[in-house]
C-alpha cells in the first residue's frame, strides 16, 4: 500500500476510537457491550486478525503442497522410482 493509504487508514481508525469514547450510552437500551468504549472497533480488529490467521493456517497446513508434489505424483502414476 502507498504511504497515503496508511495515513488515511490511521486517521480513520483514530477517529473511530475517539468516536467510541465520545459515544452516548443510556442504560437499559441495548446490550452490555455497548457500555464498553470503542467495543466495535476492538471487536472488528480482533475478528479481522482471527480471519487472517485462520486463512493463513488453512493455506499453510491444508492447501500448500511441497515443491516436488507434481513430480512425485507423476512418478507414482507412471510407476517409476528414483
Q: What is the pLDDT of residues 6-50, one digit of tens each?
A: 999 999 989 988 887 787 666 666 777 878 888 888 999 999 999
Structural domain boundaries enclosing 66: 3-26+33-78
Q: CA nearest 82: which of 37, 28, 72, 9?
A: 72
Q: How many domains does the chain have?
A: 1
Q: Would the pTM count as exceeding 0.95?
A: no
Amino acid at each position: 500500500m502507498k504511504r497515503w493509504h496508511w495515513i488515511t487508514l490511521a486517521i480513520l481508525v483514530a477517529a473511530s476510537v475517539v468516536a467510541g469514547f465520545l459515544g452516548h450510552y443510556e442504560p437499559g437500551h441495548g446490550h452490555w457491550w455497548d457500555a464498553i468504549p470503542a467495543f466495535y472497533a476492538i471487536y472488528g480488529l480482533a475478528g479481522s486478525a482471527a480471519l487472517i490467521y485462520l486463512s493463513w493456517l488453512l493455506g499453510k497446513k491444508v492447501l500448500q503442497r511441497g515443491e516436488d508434489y507434481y513430480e512425485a505424483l507423476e512418478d507414482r502414476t507412471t510407476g517409476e522410482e528414483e
